[in-house]
Amino acid sequence: MENQCTKIKGIMKKIKDAVKRQLKEQYEKACNGYLCELLSMWELDAYYGYWIGEEVGGVYDYGGMMTIGMEDIIYCVEHDVTEFQYQEWQEYICDAGEFGFDTPNLKSWMMGCPRTHAETFKHLRKLKAQLNEAIQDEKERVKNEEKGRG
């Protein structure tokens, strides 16, 4: 009886493992299908890209110029997001992140969420540069003052 139970457990494990392999294959096939459709939509050559860490369905790197996660790949395909729209969103989240602003996800961006204008970021960069220059000037002043005393 115990030997038969062991055999049954072994068979069940093999079935379970086979199901997992099949699910993984189906998932990877679906992910690669979405990716191929996106590359076709954006007229990009798959030769220049790869799944980071060879993890299909994770993050896709296109020639070191752009990365895109599976969630965004699916969204872009299902909502006909252009490469320009995606790049515009990427630039925005970089700008927003630089100044600690909220960074919207792609869906929110495409739905027209509130956002800071590019001119504002440009102005903030100018102010930031001026502040950094003033800080450097003050550091230099203090350094020179210390030299004068020493």
**Stated pTM of the model:** 0.79
Residues 6+ apart with CB under 8 A from 42: 82, 83
Give the integer Cα–Cα distance in Å for 82 and 77: 9
**Residue 1's pLDDT band (boundaries 50, 70, 90)?**
low
pLDDT tens per residue, range 76-85: 999 999 999 9
**Token pair of 105, please?**
């996800």
Assign 3-state DSSP to the chain and report helix, strand, coil percentages, each to 5. 70, 5, 20
Amino acid identity of residue 41, one-letter, is M
> Do the beta carbons of residue 116 and residue 101 sit within 8 Å?
yes
Fill in the DSSP letter of residue 1. Answer: -
Amino acid identity of residue 72, one-letter, is D
Residues paired with residue 62 on neighbouring β-strands, in sequence order: 49, 66
pLDDT tens per residue, range 94-145: 999 999 999 999 999 999 998 888 898 888 889 888 888 888 888 888 888 8
**Residue 10's pLDDT band (boundaries 50, 70, 90)?**
confident
